[in-house]
Amino acid sequence: MADDKKLTPQGEDFSAWYNEVVLRAELADYSPVRGSMVIRPWGYGIWENMQRGLDGLFKETGHENAYFPLLIPMSFIEREKEHIEGFEPQLAVVTHAGGKKLEEPLVIRPTSETIIMGMYAKWIQSYRDLPLLINQWANVVRWEMRTRLFLRTSEFLWQEGHTVHATSEEAEEHTRRMLGVYRTFMEDWMAMPPVTGLKSDSERFAGAVRSYACEAMMQDNKALQAGTSHFLGQNFSRQFDLTFQTEEGKEEYGWNTSWGVSTRLVGALVMTHGDDNGVVVPPRLAPTQVVIVPIWRKDDQAEAVRSKAAELKVRLEERGVRVKIDDRDHLSPGNKFYEWERKGVPIRMELGPRDLKNDQVVLVKRVRAEDEDKKEFLPQAQAVDEMPARLDALQASLLETAKARREANSYRGVEDIGQLNEIMESGGGFVYTGWSGDPEVEQRVKEETKATLRCIPDEGFRSSKAPTKCIGGGEAKMEVVWDRAY
Amino acid sequence: MADDKKLTPQGEDFSAWYNEVVLRAELADYSPVRGSMVIRPWGYGIWENMQRGLDGLFKETGHENAYFPLLIPMSFIEREKEHIEGFEPQLAVVTHAGGKKLEEPLVIRPTSETIIMGMYAKWIQSYRDLPLLINQWANVVRWEMRTRLFLRTSEFLWQEGHTVHATSEEAEEHTRRMLGVYRTFMEDWMAMPPVTGLKSDSERFAGAVRSYACEAMMQDNKALQAGTSHFLGQNFSRQFDLTFQTEEGKEEYGWNTSWGVSTRLVGALVMTHGDDNGVVVPPRLAPTQVVIVPIWRKDDQAEAVRSKAAELKVRLEERGVRVKIDDRDHLSPGNKFYEWERKGVPIRMELGPRDLKNDQVVLVKRVRAEDEDKKEFLPQAQAVDEMPARLDALQASLLETAKARREANSYRGVEDIGQLNEIMESGGGFVYTGWSGDPEVEQRVKEETKATLRCIPDEGFRSSKAPTKCIGGGEAKMEVVWDRAY
């Protein structure tokens, strides 16, 4: 039963490490349905905490949740030309239902712009109904040929925000606001610091005017697009006749945004903080923040240890800490330690007969494999009182470490494709260069280095000295970030 | 804009009233997809609060959440013979995906027993892995020819619990425990008192050994099956080879349960408490519990009223009350009153310049249309301090009213079909009679009265004097409840 076989080390094969750790930390499992995964309780618990965090931020920014149909008539999704061109190869199609062939096939939503805009057109009459700020938590299907747990699956869970505004400026501002919400969430909850910026035209969402993204750097230095926010202009409004009467009494098309993050974030979390011992879950997202392992050798010690563990659990819960007691008696303490380390529980509390006598507990932080194992002996009262602060400190230190790693693997002042390729071949990272805006250059870089243009970074991420040379030769019009990506 | 047209009265046409109130309280809307509905923010907010309540009860009883695939291979769903016979007519089938015809069609889950048992078989080795207690929040599709908002839609949202136990007794006990959880939720959160009991064989879940249900009485005296809990025996375990090693080292099939409630509960809520003025939402489920309507005549009064409203909102929120200020300036106070009454917000707080001067507020409870409109003038501090208790009292009184209505429309001691039919024809209700257990009698009652056998009621609901005569003639083996049903 004890699954204490070592994981493939990250340094040896990052990709093998990732698959193993997701399975063995019981975050997810393969399913018998091609391209679909099962999210197991530990992985789903992390997703639930992500939902809680994001949902709070959405509500603070004025959004309400609603629910729209899973199945979309084919004629709806075909209306916006770029949209259908982008999504057609990935559609799953229902042709039969209720024992009959359908007159019009229905597609399983790959995203819900079309069905939602159709409803909005019905609900919105005048500027007084705007802005309309709605979010949906849902599953979507985009058929994939090559899938990876959490990172790329045919079905995934996500949220999709869809808003309508009276002016282009307001919609653009909202698109940027939600990008900021994603960045805040990733930093404050996931301890994962993304670079934010505008996507190039080739990477735009099908049907959008402009797409913005959060680009996070994984521990193999590859980029992962972790969230996107789109300014849709009036593209969908025009197709679905989504008009409103302005304050001046004119009829105008609404201005739209849409934005989403998905269970892909769970994969991003694993690749940001995990190590050779397993997953590391930041305290704010951990379903269990403290696991108490009661230890005894003789049967007559069990009762006292167990009852003290139960008491400490209650006292920690009163301080808002999520606690679990692992009192399974067919596993040795060592096997329990391995399991919770692999699952990434932030703090382990050991409690044995000697600790009871000394009124103490043993605390062990889930630190990275290469750091020393910091076993601390603490008076029980102190351990309880300090726990929220200790969890906060652990959360903060994970963000610091991830930020430092991102900066250590970012390269600025690179001026030609050869140099970029060398960086990619020797470990990769975020490479900042100048760009003329020419898609042909973007294509050439991709072919020669396998790196793609991740984004045109926002202020705050740009180099202090703006690059003047385009990486493909000639003059730079802007600064961009390149990396190989998931 | 102002939608103050009267609703069709319940007494005139209950069914028309229901459709109108769901649309005009903005709980839901029809969608362009046949049989699918859109759940609008007010309706979804109620569902979110239902989820919160249920999820807490599931976690208290030891369950964790997980997520399984939407799409199920046809061969999986076909394995349990009764199961596929029951669900086949309602399946939606994906035949094409990723631009190609699939080798094996996939069905959109109508329920997830088959895909989940397949995974459990992989995860469970020994008795130490049991019980396995997992719940899933998900959408499902069951193709319907005749649909009604919330009550019967092709796609709906629900939760489905799926558990595995080492013994038949333990699984049966868990089936009953979850029925009790549903009853608790319906009474304490929805203020809707169901009768619980066993379903007859003809109404059993396809693939179950025994099905239990919560049967609630709507205001038209029709029954609505509001939640079900199934003892599955080893029916699915055998098909999916779900075995475990017992403590004695033997190989045995696991014993399963499954149980679910859905967005149908939102419809049940509407039909339990709504009146001719609109929906009535019990405080524990209301997305907004108190709506503050600031009122002023002269522009120079606005600032003071608004700022006092904001202050009261904060003070109420500190006491855990969910508050909204309706400061839209294109609607008259009267129009706002209508709107919030229609949506069923439990308490309205009016606040004008005179109230400011007198340090008071006006409170109006959302009472039933036929009751008097209880306008109360209260000192502000008192209104704030008493609000949680007032909401609790309102919650309790809704349950009392619903219970009294159910009892007033329950009939005991009925001994023949003619008498049952008379009750059905003159208003309906729950009719308790004896039954021999003969399905032929069940069928005859249905044909002659349109009433169906709702359940074999649990202790506590049974008549003090057990009926001795079967309603179809001969001797009674048990007591049962009949009603026409949704």
Q: What is the pLDDT of residues B157-197, one digit of tens each?
A: 999 999 999 999 999 999 999 999 999 999 999 999 999 99
Given a contact cutoff of 8 angstroms between Cβ atoms, the answer to whether A107 and A92 are in contact is yes
- CATH code: domain of residue A308: 3.40.50.800
Does B266 share its domain with B163? Answer: yes
- Residue B95 falls inside a structural domain: yes
CA-nearest residue to A40 within chain B is: B66
Inter-chain contacts counted by CB atoms under 8 A, chains A and B = 168
Is residue B2 less than 8 Å (CB to CB) from chain A? no
Sequence-ordered alpha helix ranges (H) in B409-475:
417-425, 439-449
CA-nearest residue to A41 within chain B is: B66
Does A292 share its domain with A186? Answer: no
Is residue A108 less than 8 Å (CB to CB) from chain B? yes
Cβ of A103: how many Cβ atoms within 10 Å?
7
Does B120 share its domain with B162? Answer: yes
Number of domains composing chain B: 3
Is residue A93 less than 8 Å (CB to CB) from chain B? yes
Give residue B2's pLDDT band: very low, low, confident or very high (50, 70, 90). very low
Q: Does B108 contact A108 at a Cβ distance shorter than 8 Å?
A: yes
Q: What percent of chain B has pLDDT over 90?
A: 94
Q: Does A32 contact B73 at a Cβ distance shorter than 8 Å?
A: yes
CA-nearest residue to B140 within chain A is: A70
- Residue A402 falls inside a structural domain: no
Is residue A132 less than 8 Å (CB to CB) from chain B? no
Note down the domain range covering B449.
Answer: 410-483
pLDDT of res. A2: 44
In angstroms, the CA A78 to CA A68 distance is 18
Out of B40, B90, B139, closest to residue A139 by CB? B139
Does B198 share its domain with B254? Answer: yes
Global pTM? 0.96
Contacts of A330 in chain B (CB under 8 A): 128
pLDDT tens digit at each of 486 positions of chain A? 345 688 999 999 999 999 999 999 999 999 998 889 999 999 999 999 999 999 999 999 999 999 999 999 999 999 988 989 999 999 999 999 999 999 999 999 999 999 999 999 999 999 999 999 999 999 999 999 889 999 999 999 999 999 999 999 999 999 999 999 999 999 999 999 999 999 999 999 999 999 999 999 999 999 999 999 999 999 999 999 999 999 999 999 999 999 999 999 999 999 999 999 999 999 999 999 999 999 998 888 999 999 999 999 999 999 999 999 999 989 999 999 999 999 999 999 999 999 999 999 999 999 876 676 678 999 999 999 999 999 999 999 999 999 999 999 999 999 999 999 999 999 999 999 999 999 999 999 999 999 999 999 999 999 999 999 999 999 999 999 999 999
> How many Å lie between the alpha carbon of B366 and the closest alpha carbon of chain A?
23
Phi, psi of B289 (to 5 degrees): -95, -35
Does B101 share its domain with B160? Answer: yes
Phi, psi of B5 (to 5 degrees): -60, 140
Q: Does A139 contact B143 at a Cβ distance shorter than 8 Å?
A: no
> What is the Rg, in whole angstroms, of the alpha carbon atoms belonging to chain A?
25
Given a contact cutoff of 8 angstroms between Cβ atoms, the answer to whether B289 and B322 are in contact is yes
Is residue B32 less than 8 Å (CB to CB) from chain A? yes
> How many Å lie between the alpha carbon of A70 and the closest alpha carbon of chain B?
8
Give residue B4's pLDDT band: very low, low, confident or very high (50, 70, 90). low
- Residue A426 falls inside a structural domain: yes
pLDDT of res. B298: 87
In angstroms, the CA B299 to CA B42 distance is 31
Give yes or no for residue B297 having a pLDDT over 90: no
> How many Å lie between the alpha carbon of B335 and the closest alpha carbon of chain A?
15
Out of B32, B65, B92, closest to residue A41 by CB? B65
Out of A29, A64, A96, closest to residue B93 by CB? A96
Does B292 share its domain with B214? Answer: no
Contacts of A47 in chain B (CB under 8 A): 67
Contacts of A40 in chain B (CB under 8 A): 66
- Residue A338 falls inside a structural domain: yes
- Residue A142 falls inside a structural domain: yes
DSSP per-residue string spanning B88-124? GGG-EEEEEETTEEEEEEEEEPSS-HHHHHHHHHHH-
pLDDT of res. A297: 87
Contacts of B40 in chain A (CB under 8 A): 66
Contacts of B36 in chain A (CB under 8 A): 69-71
- Residue B479 falls inside a structural domain: yes
Out of B96, B118, B128, closest to residue A330 by CB? B128
Is residue B72 less than 8 Å (CB to CB) from chain A? yes
Among B389, B418, B445, give the residue marking a domain's end: B389
Does B452 share its domain with B325? Answer: no
Phi, psi of A327 (to 5 degrees): -110, 25
Q: Does A69 contact B157 at a Cβ distance shorter than 8 Å?
A: no
- CATH code: domain of residue A439: 3.30.110.30
Parallel, antiparallel or unpaired: strands A290-294 and A195-198: unpaired
Out of B41, B123, B125, closest to residue A66 by CB? B41
Q: Does B41 contact A94 at a Cβ distance shorter than 8 Å?
A: no
Does A246 share its domain with A299? Answer: no
- What is the average per-residue pLDDT within B94-100? 96
Give yes or no for residue B371 having a pLDDT over 80: no
